[in-house]
Structure formats: structure tokens, C-alpha cells
Amino acid sequence: MQFQPFEQGIEVNGRTVHSVVDGLGAFQNLAKRYLVPEGIGTEASGKLELDLDGWYPHDAWLRAFARIAKDIGEETLFQIGRSIPKNAAFPPSVVDIHSAMQAIDVAYHLNHRKNRAVMFDVATGAMQEGIGHYRYEAVKDPPSILVVCHNPYPCAFDRGIITAMGQKFELTSRVSHEDEATCRAKGGSTCTYRVTW
């Protein structure tokens, strides 16, 4: 299922909300209309103002994001996903397509808090559970990477993120969806994507 939080007490950071709003382009007025009533950001001089270093309730964010997604459709969701890695900073350990795919889950947890604590501790490498994962699996035959998304975000958005992360290091890389039957957009719990190049 898309947009259903796994747990309560989770927050998302303002930068993540901003990245999605930024990716909306011509549809930015939708963001204001759905986010402000959920308590995410404020309206000033007709514009949405977000605290980039602030934290917002994850369930409210998913509710607003679900409404935005319904209005903009799958293709725009994919384009927003594609724009996410462009705005993100990555650790020096990200040097190729394999490390890039592994970094998605870390970045995801760095952008969420649980009980006021960031869900990935850079110093210890400890990760808290509660928002699902972007699981990485290297495949030998055919040479490829599987990314298994078990998280509350929408399928088309995640496909965009994975596509952009792949093309950062392998320009010809492609992403296909495996096991369509379990797809979150169809009420399933997991989307599996195969990255080839």
C-alpha cells in the first residue's frame, strides 16, 4: 500500500518535503493547498514557506503527498523521484552504481526521525526500524542490481529515485519493475526493481 505509515512517531525533514515540492514545477500551487492544512509549512505572500532544517509529522506528510500524487499522476511522480538525488548530498563512499544503490537506504533513514532521533547514526552505522527500506541486492546472472522497496512512498516516485541514482554513474542504466503482482500501486506491499546497464 502506498502512503500508509508503518509506525506513528515518525517525522520527515523539511529538505525532503522541499525536494518533492521543488520537483512539482508547474504544480506547486497544489503543494500549498494540501500541505498547509496538514500543518506542513506556512503560507506567506501566497507562497509556501518550509523550514528546511525543521521536522514535520510523517503521517501528515504522507496524507498530503497522497492527495498531490492523485492530482499529478504517475509520470510527474516519476519525474519528482528523478529530481531527488540531484538535490541530495552523498557520502564519499558513493563511487559507483553499487554503492549508489546501497546509499539510498542510508539517505532515506537520515531524512527521517523516530522519537526525535535521526534514524541513521552516522557515527555508529546504527539504523532504526519504522519506515521500511530500500534493500540492495547484487545479482551475478544476469549482471544487475535488485532494489526492493518496502516503504510507504509511491512506486513511480521510487522508480524515479532509482533511475536517477543509476544514471549518475552508468548513463545507459535502465530500471524495470519485477513482480508486478506485489506492486504497491496495486495494493501490494513491495516493489522490486531491476537495474541493468
In whole angstroms, how close is the CB of 178 to Zn ion at the nearest point?
9
**Region label for 196, one of left (φ > 0), alpha (ψ between -120 and 50) or beta (otherwise):** beta
Cell 532504526 found at? 128
The answer to whether residue 155 forms part of the interface with Zn ion (CB under 5 A) is yes
x/- letters, 176..195, toward Zn ion (CB under 5 A): -------x-------x----
Total residues in contact with Zn ion, by rule CB under 5 A: 3
Shortest distance (Å) from residue 133 CB to Zn ion: 15
162 binding Zn ion? (CB under 5 A): no
Specify the DSSP class assigned to residue 120. B
The Cα 99–Cα 129 span in angstroms is: 21
- Please say which residue, 51 or 178, places its beta carbon nearer to Zn ion: 178
Other Cβ atoms less than 10 A from the Cβ of 132: the count is 19
**Which of these segments, 59-67, 83-91, 151-159, 163-171, binds Zn ion (CB under 5 A)?**
151-159
DSSP H/E element including 110:
helix 97-110
Binding site for Zn ion (CB under 5 A): 155, 183, 191
